[in-house]
Amino acid sequence: MMPRRKLYRAIFIAAGVYNIAWGIFAALDPQWIFRFAHLPIANYPEIYACLGMVIGLYGLLYLDTARIPEQGWRIAAVGLLGKILGPIGMAVLIFTGRWPPRLSILCLTNDVIWWIPFAMYLIDVYRNARQPKERAEPFAIPRALEHTRR
């Protein structure tokens, strides 16, 4: 059994619900971010709406990771990589003056707050995978079924 399994289930349920909600909001009102940042309204809001759809789909993947945390490390690894690369790209845009600093709130809520829980999860999955597993006898009855044996 994976350590902190209940915690990781809760984390990935929260991440899933957050991403789905964020994705729906971005798809329904793709201009909100431009209004919030006091940027000119986008000529092609469909691009931002599409981004919202992708973020929402990540939410479905996070919910699947919550369902079976022992098997979701690939999804979490890709998610964490995106949550690291996104802020790097945002920092470049802000430091070059192309985007206003107030947009950094996106990276705080969408990315940075998830770094520690996702990293902890990946470390625990790695450590759990490296631990020696119990060796079963070739024809042993699983412990869960022993009570049925007569």
pTM exceeds cut of 0.85: no
Q: What is the pLDDT of residue 141?
A: 53
Q: What is the pLDDT of residue 14?
A: 98
| Position 2 pLDDT exceeds 80 | yes
pLDDT, average across residues 34-63: 95
Q: 63 near 12, Cβ under 8 Å?
A: yes
Q: Mind listing the pLDDT tens digit for each residue in 108-140?
A: 999 999 999 999 999 999 998 888 766 545 555
Q: 14 near 109, Cβ under 8 Å?
A: no
Q: What is the pLDDT of residue 129?
A: 87
Which two structure tokens, joined as six digits, stand for 55?
């973020």
DSSP string, 12-69: HHHHHHHHHHHHHHHHH-TTHHHHHTTPPPPS-HHHHHHHHHHHHHHHHHHHHHHHSG
Q: What is the pLDDT of residue 137?
A: 53
Q: What is the pLDDT of residue 4?
A: 95
